[in-house]
Amino acid sequence: MHTLAGVMDHGTGQPRRGALRSLAFGAALAARTAAQGADQLIAPFAPKDRPGLLIFVFHCVFADQAEADSGVIDPHERATGQGLARLIDYFRGHGYRFVGAREIDRGLEPDGRYAHLTFDDGFANNLQLIDLLAREEAHATIFPSIGHVRQGSAFWWNVVYRERRRRGRGAVAAEYGKLRQMTVSEVNRYLLAEFGSRALEPTGDIDRPLTPAELNELASSPWIEIGNHTIDHAVLPSCGAEEAERQVDGAQRWLQETLGEAPFIIAYPNGDATAETAKTAERLGLRLGVTVVPKRNRLPIGDAARMLLGRVRIVFGRRERARMRALRSSVQIAAAARGLVLGRGEPDAPLSDGSGGAAD
């Protein structure tokens, strides 16, 4: 933990920017953990399972816990096939139906309880979902970053995570924060300068993106839909209007050419969207948009809400059942607090706590 002395630059007498980022990250993480803890404490006493739509956000699907702990990739939510099966079984046992994005687009009955699975970025390990979803008869949407699929390059946050871990550093929050402010070309130059000429190469199947052929294989499953996640995993509100349009439209066009159909749903990279971002996506043919504001979506879904749907996280492990129970509650302190502070999404790039585990 930083002390005040550690935050100050003794040469200038000014606060160190990186240290301030780490402090801010730590405070945000502590606040989110506290809010989710409060949700879990209140859940047994609050009304549960009112009508609504829960959309879950994931990234990787690890083969097992050892793979999640391998150190080559930030473990995010630590999802495995077994964990996802437990989640589906738990919510289905409480009356939730796992629907596809097309059914959400058509409109859900206002008195129902629904769930939907989403997987961002387009990791090759998402191929495990083909058999899992067919076996569980549950639907999911996968949102690939098109540039990574085309080039086969590693995702920058995993490069930082693995390389800093190799060098004995745990917390990388300040570095993540700095890189989120850069353009794609700036990030790539930074990684190559910092970690060497092969920094952008994946280490293997755990951290590589899907290939175009594998994306087609996923799209052929009746349980999987493919959504827009921009060309370069671009944080759209940080782009100019022209660049934001290029990022979304370029992904639409490439997916149309590659899969034979353009998406109707977008996951905003980093979960970051504004009303203007939503309007741009809608103008380019998208009819649904998902953030990572952690909330249940009320039914019926209004026209404005369609492009700014919330998503929730489950970190698998010893607290997973308490977290799942809290998401059934009508009282969601974490969502309310996040809405008051930011009013929009949170980064979907990893929020590591420095221990090799996910921030939650």
Classify residue 158 as exposed, middle or buried by CB count within 10 Å of its CB (0-12, 13-18, 19+).
Answer: buried
Q: Does the residue 317 lie in any domain?
A: yes
What is the share, in percent, of the chain residues with pLDDT greater than 70? 78
Q: Is the pLDDT of residue 21 over 50?
A: no
Give 180's pLDDT tier (boundaries 50, 70, 90).
confident
Cα–Cα distance between 239 and 254 in angstroms, integer?
20
Q: What is the mean pLDDT of the chain?
A: 84
Residue 350 has a pLDDT of 40
**Residue 198 CB partners (closer than 8 Å, separation 6+):** none
pLDDT band at 88 (very low <50, low <70, confident <90, very high): very high
Does residue 38 sit within a domain?
yes
CA distance 151 to 13: 44
State residue 357's pLDDT score. Answer: 36
39 phi, psi to nearest 5 deg: -60, -40
Looking from the CA of 341 toward its CB, the CA atoms found within 13 Å total 15
Res. 347 pLDDT band, cuts 50 70 90: very low
Residue 347 counted as domain residue: no
DSSP one-letter string for 210-265: PPHHHHHHHHTSTTEEE-B--SS---GGGS-HHHHHHHHHHHHHHHHHHHSS--SE
Which CATH number does the domain housing residue 208 bear? 3.20.20.370
- Return the residue matching tokens 């506290």: 34
Question: Does any domain span residue 205?
Answer: yes
Structural domain range at position 70: 18-42+55-341
Percent of the chain topping pLDDT 90: 64
> Residue 9: inside a domain, yes or no?
no
Domain contains 327: yes
The radius of gyration of the chain from alpha carbons, rounded to an integer in Å, stands at 20
**What are 254-270's pLDDT values in tens digits?**
999 999 999 999 999 98
Nearest 10 degrees: Cα torsion 73, 77, 78, 79: -120
pLDDT at 141 > cutoff 90: yes
Average pLDDT over residues 13-23: 50
**Position 352 in a domain:** no
Q: What is the mean pLDDT of residues 186-208?
A: 95
Number of domains in the chain: 1
Q: Specify if 354 maps to a domain.
A: no
